[in-house]
Chains A and B, each alone.
Chain A
């Protein structure tokens, strides 16, 4: 994904009480108001605004309004850290809360609209929130100077205390907040020299850890409104099928079921409690119209993709003369076809939303989504209510991995259709079950790769010819970079390189999945390169180093991980190691996996070493956690996961029994090292994922002699 830089909104830098809407919305109908909006209970009360991102209360608490959703990657803590650093606050006074939905003021500077994704939360906010913190600090200092009648230049701020040494006057932030909020913000706030950072670069637990360790953290599914209905929707088991007819007699007879309605996405059952809604849904008898459904199996879809390679695709890279290189005298050629399956994201909290219509006709939505502005627009279009009358109350999300980031917000459209069909007299919580989630589409698309490589007589890799077919996530009619990223821009000095992409039409909704195109391109490039190096008689690490030439950040992580694992040193009997290095989202990661064959003939991953270069390390604790988690998430997928369409396009998998998640007994020990850097910080939510698959597959090839051409690996192990 290309990172563009959009200009911050001018409104973001205007001191304006008009923007203080984040904490004023907690509606009285909800029992647990303290948890709404993610606002910590002790940050409630009077909040003085310091432009768009900072609120200071009389009790000294500083609340950072996070324009990014918290779904586990730690942006609430990271954004609060950046502000606290420039504000010279004490960490104990910092809080974070969800900013309201506003595609202008709270836009992601990499996207141009408000949104969380692409591992951009810290990268796009770093300068913006440093300035927000420095501005608030300058306003506090100006207020103190006026209050105390001393020159601003003589005032110091440290750990949440404002002091004037000569007069002995000191104050906390809260006592001066009301006055400070009225001060003119500096045109260009002065930022710290990074050498003077006291908070950035230090390990720090996340702000929400205590709430998440005591059951007190509130997610969308936990929202209760008085008189609320629970709704579940019966969906078809083939993509594109629609309701032909429904017999709801048995469903309506279930005690607690209030109503049944047909909506564009299926049949909605409304009930007074969740179990009644589920029982009612199970009692529906629905005939589905399959005339517009995708009825091909996954196997047939893959076959159709391969047939595309006879035609011309879209050029992604074309360097040197690939055809001539393959015809070179005495070259050795290898070919590989690879297949990557559909993958569901399967966040722990399935999709859900609570919609409430107020007496004045305005709408409150309680949900956790990566593109809140898109949600607002979807609700507006479905309900016919002006966007100014819709409030998006952002909740913590129980994981996402890309699932909650959708242009057009199809999920919110379903929730809004369900709400509309209910008559909107009562609040409605719309929830998906795990089955809805696994079978709900918006998968990492299925991709087919075909790669040819050539090695000359001297053992040098001289040509690489690579074609990739799959759905365009961005729905493009030309090359979709997200299908080829990580392959077309591979860092290796291979003189003749050709990469072509092919867009396919399939009736299965596609979506980005943690690390997007790198989920498959990283695997294809790093496993195929490993085979070529072996064929050329080269060591997997030394061979890569030779091809990386002046790619210093790739080299930095690769050399570091080799040192950590003592690459080339002794390996326990029965185990082998594989390596991979990959850049995604401007973060560089190298991983080495140590693998054996278990008693069932499947891979057992014992240990993973990981080196990461993500620029300035804002909070090493969070960075390490994301790399550990990225390894575990990616490993589960490459070992176990696929959503398959069977005969007639019927979706086969349905829940965690057949869409396996990695479990604790399958989690390797992960050791992470962070390369020290003064470069601008880049993201860590996704980049840990791409290298784990190829590192394990490369070890597997050493163990068994068999290259991995098809995922998940468990299929190979049992066959």
Chain B
């Protein structure tokens, strides 16, 4: 039995302890904003926040999540999340949209630690998130825009 919190609520999982967090979130908790893209931590579509840090849920066995706080796209809150999602909509970042939950989770975590990121900071924080539609230019712009609005 693994106990953890998901978007602020306590959850228990008593299935196979090797089950990746991704499939616990999607199949058992029925939260589908977190996506499967590669299964080997190469694409970032499955990015969640685990105890405040970005984590590729596809390679995180649920047994490692015992006692942790997990936040998904459905549960992100706070000034950074609000600014990022607003900026995303304002310049119409998504195309197919499938990777964007993961992109947003990485962008929010970046702003939480680096309120005024440079282009190099963005490259460092976002290079693990693939977008096959290549919306990267707008992702970069939206992160800068979100940082600007938070500065006031």
Contact = CB atoms under 8 A, between A and B. Distances in A.
A30 to B, nearest CB: 11
B130 A663 contact: yes
Interface in A52-99: 71-74
Nearest to A658: B42
B91 to A, nearest CB: 8
Contact of B96 (A397, A433, A657): A397
Interface stretch (A139-147, A357-365, A621-629, A708-716): A621-629
A214 B73 contact: yes
Contacts, number: 185
Nearest to B34: A215
A670 B18 CA distance: 43
| B32, B33, B39, B126: most-surrounded residue (chain A CB, <10 A) | B32
B129 interface: yes
A348 B131 contact: yes
Given A275-B20, A632-B134, A73 B73 contact: no
A366 interface: no
A337 interface: no
Contacts of A631: 134
Given A348-B132, A663-B127, A625 B33 contact: no
Contacts of A652: none
B4 interface: no
B42 A664 contact: no
A349 interface: yes
Contact of A434 (B27, B34, B37, B123): B37
Contacts of B132: 346-348, 399, 401, 633, 661
Interface in B122-151: 122-123, 126-127, 129-140
A348 B35 contact: yes
Contacts of A669: 137
Given A213-B89, A348-B43, A632-B136, A664 B122 contact: yes
A656 B18 CA distance: 23
Q: Residue among A212, A350, A401, A625 with the most chain B CB within 10 A?
A: A212
Contact of A664 (B37, B43, B94, B140): B140
A273 B134 contact: no
Contacts of A398: 35, 96-99
B40 A31 contact: no
Interface residues of A, number: 69
B26 interface: yes
Interface in A374-396: 396
A205 B73 contact: no
A274 B89 contact: no
A258 to B, nearest CB: 14
B15 interface: yes
A255 interface: yes
A219 interface: yes
A628 B137 contact: yes
B88 A213 contact: yes
Interface string B43-61: 1010000000000000000
B142 to A, nearest CB: 9
A222 interface: yes
A273 B43 CA distance: 22
Given A275-B20, A348-B35, A434-B38, A208 B130 contact: no
Given A213-B93, A255-B15, 14 more contacts: A208-B94, A208-B97, A215-B101, A274-B36, A275-B27, A348-B133, A349-B37, A399-B96, A625-B95, A626-B95, A628-B135, A663-B127, A663-B130, A664-B127
9 contacts: A209-B93, A219-B98, A221-B32, A275-B27, A278-B39, A279-B18, A347-B96, A431-B36, A629-B133
Minimum-distance CB pairs A-B, first 6: A215-B33, A632-B134, A398-B98, A212-B97, A72-B96, A215-B73
